[in-house]
């Protein structure tokens, strides 16, 4: 995600059709409910400087409920599932490309 500015929020919310959103399907036992969970205290790291942005909030969207829940359809595959995030840009954060690898879990409910 390319970020610039200061004192503002950067949102990547699936509900708004934004591009910086993780999109995926889950395959499993038809009819089973699933829940997606993410760890707290995650960051985006600047590509060239030792600066990072704390992720303030994760958004669930597309086929996921606001609480990260969905159901495996009869064909053994979920609908398209999406996760986005919100970060606060501080005065000391340089413009540039921020990236991260964030683990998430999908479990049967």
Tell me the per-residue pLDDT of 67-78, one tens digit each, with 9 for 90 and over: 999 999 999 999
Q: What is the DSSP letter of 86?
A: E
Q: What is the pTM of this model?
A: 0.84
- Look at the chain and report how many structural domains it folds into: 1
Residues of the chain with confidence (pLDDT) below 50: none
Give the span between the Cα atoms of 14 and 83, in whole angstroms.
7
CB atoms within 10 A of CB 35: 16
Q: For residue 12, give its domain range.
A: 2-108
27-37 per-position pLDDT tens digit = 999 999 999 99
Indicate which CATH number applies to the domain containing 84.
2.60.40
Question: Per residue in 38-75, is it b (16+ CB within 10 Å) or e — as a string?
Answer: eeeebebebeeeebebebeebbbbbbbeeebebbbeee
Cα 50 off chain centre by = 22
């Amino acid at each position: 995600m390319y970020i610039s500015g200061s004192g503002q929020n950067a949102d990547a919310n699936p509900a708004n059709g934004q591009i910086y959103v993780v999109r995926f399907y889950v395959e499993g036992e038809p009819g089973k409910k699933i829940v997606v969970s993410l760890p707290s205290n995650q960051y985006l790291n600047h590509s060239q400087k030792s600066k990072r942005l704390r992720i303030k909030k994760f958004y669930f969207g597309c086929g996921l409920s606001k609480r990260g829940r969905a159901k495996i359809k009869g064909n053994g595959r979920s609908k398209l599932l999406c996760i986005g995030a919100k970060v606060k840009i501080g005065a000391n954060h340089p413009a540039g490309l921020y990236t991260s690898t964030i683990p998430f879990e999908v479990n049967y409910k």
